[in-house]
Chains A and B, each alone.
Chain A
Amino acid sequence: MAKQITVFLENRPGRIQSISRILKEKGLNILAFSIQDRGEFGLMKMIVDKPAEAQLALADRGMACALKEVFAVTAADQPGNLEKLTTALAEKSINIKDAYGFVSTSDKRGICYLEVENPQNVDIGRLIAEHGFTLIADKDLYDL
């Protein structure tokens, strides 16, 4: 399981910069991120190369942050793959709470970070394997 770090941020200028500065100072690398906007505040969600260190660095500065396990699903970068993945989930009535994805240009693979409702109810790893996807192993993810 990939470890996503979620940081609570007020919605005002300079907040994302201050987060990225803290990570930069610690030499931490951001692999993926997304922002969820909720009016006066937002959540910044990141996959970083050293999640535990990032959490410590941010918490040290008083930031409210939490580590959460998410699925990192990978497939070849080609048309129709997101449709195929979401069809597999929809058929099992699995609700996606949050997702963001990107393509690694070096090896032409798409990566999707996925958070689902009630993940304990279904074996996601097996389900997606049945449909030709793979969950990235932690060591591969953090070596990316």
Chain B
Amino acid sequence: MEIRYWNQRLETLPRHELRQLQLERLREVVGYALQTPFYQKRLPKAGISSPEDIRSLDDLKKIPFTVKDDLRQAFPKGLLAVDMEKVVRIHSSSGTTGIPTVIYYTADDLDRWTDLLARSIVATGAGPADVFQNMMSYGLFTGGLGMHYGAERVGMAVIPVGGGNTQRQLQIMRDFRTTVLHITPSYLLHIHQRMPEFGLTPADLNLKKAWMGAEPHSENTRLKLQELFGIDIYNSYGLSEMNGPGVAFECVYKNDLHVWEDGYIIEIIDPRTGEPVEDGQEGEVVFTNLIRHALPLLRYRTRDLAFLHPEPCPCGRTARRMSRITGRTDDMLIINGVNVFPSQIEEVLMSIPEVGTNYQIHLSRHEGLDRLTVKVEIYSKLFTGDLAALEALKNKINEKLRASITINSRIELHEPGSLPAFEGKAKRVVDEREKL
């Protein structure tokens, strides 16, 4: 198999040198963290008042974990380590309690992130000769823009089409002889189902590869999609807290994802105790971002479950490989690639007086796309008997939900007392989607 590198020296750096590089970068990032109100409160208590207090990588363990809620509490600038004049990009995501989270980047941060994306792209064998159709959404979501800049740096011909509009996507694939896609597994499946409608088969296209991310999926789904399209599909992992895509990526061996350890320190912990698990054991993934200075994040708990492969990869890269995501430590739902917490939905429903206290979140899949149905009971005391008011209520619920979770839902109104009521910890999510 032909192995190509973007930065051969860094990608094949012996482990002890890699650890030395991590230590240097950790000190640098701790220096920036100490510029933020958030870490100024937190780090000195843990005995870290200057970068020199990090003497070895073992000192990382002195640093307390940072969690998603810390990002919300620190909104908007509690984690900002540089002057706004230095900031050149802001990404943001909806929060579970209405408070969003925000990530800032300096020009150098973007440069380092872009370089890891270029490395990821080249690791899959793609290069300047490829035509790349980026089907992840652009905007505040990091998936679209992140990969865009990485692909330009590699020299690919980038088509920044974004998500949605299957007919146009297929037209572009055909007209520009697209070779590489960046896409979610459910959308790739959807594209395949729609092709006959436009008189197309995979043989009419020039596709060679796809990078697939933003949604967990199984090896069987990858194999099925590879066979349906006759292409190679590579798993992509990232999260905006760690800049976005390009935290971990599969190489041509497609045997799980190399974590770019010069950019991110990965730890796998027992989510209950916070202690590291044994090598190869599954646990919660914790990352320290070594390459972003505008908004430093140390020991960030992702809530994703995965394990590390201890053995090296035949591609020669020394970065260890992480398994695909095997689950979550919380109840986060992924709906058409968008992260949604049931608590976000509950928060919105409970703010609407005409809605009763019982509700159900129902997930199904139609033609490859996820469908979110929110079933609510109407509140009998506020029922007016007016049909237009009921239709208006459905619209209001959908509008308010979309403002919080960014996606559309189907609202179903039910009689009071008709939805199953649950004792204690309510099980309100019914997920009927076939596992991908």
A-to-B contact residues, CB < 8 Å: 4-6, 8-10, 15, 36, 38, 40-41, 43, 45, 59, 62-68, 98
In the complex, whether B414 has a CB less than 8 A from a CB of chain A is: yes
CA distance A59 to B418 in the complex (A): 14
Beyond the given A41-B412, A59-B380, A98-B387, please list 17 additional residue pairs across the A-B interface where CB-CB is below 8 A: A5-B385, A8-B413, A10-B414, A36-B387, A38-B387, A38-B390, A41-B414, A41-B415, A43-B390, A62-B416, A62-B417, A64-B379, A64-B380, A65-B383, A66-B383, A66-B385, A68-B386
Per the 8 Å Cβ criterion, residues 372-400 of B in contact with A are 378-380, 383-387, 390-391
CA distance A45 to B384 in the complex (A): 12
In which size bucket is the chain B interface?
A: 10 to 19
Q: Report A-chain residues with C-beta under 8 Å of the C-beta of B390.
A: 8, 38, 41, 43
Q: Report A-chain residues with C-beta under 8 Å of the C-beta of B383.
A: 8, 64-66
Q: Is the CB of A10 within 8 A of B385?
A: no
Shortest Cβ distance from B125 into chain A, in angstroms?
A: 49
Q: Report A-chain residues with C-beta under 8 Å of the C-beta of B386.
A: 68
A-B contact pairs, 5 of them (CB 8 A): A8-B413, A40-B414, A62-B416, A63-B416, A65-B385
Partner of A65, one of B379, B380, B417: B380
A8-B415, A10-B415, A10-B418 known; A64-B387 Cβ under 8 A: no
Q: Chain B residue with minimal CB distance to A38?
A: B387
CA distance A5 to B383 in the complex (A): 12
Q: Is the CB of A43 within 8 A of B380?
A: no
Partner of B385, one of A38, A41, A62, A68: A68
Q: Is the CB of B415 within 8 A of A43?
A: no
CA distance A133 to B414 in the complex (A): 39
Interface string of B397-436 (1 = CB under 8 A from A): 0000000000000001111111000000000000000000
Q: Is the CB of B378 within 8 A of A8?
A: yes
Q: Is the CB of B384 within 8 A of A66?
A: yes
Shortest Cβ distance from A19 into chain B, in angstroms?
A: 11
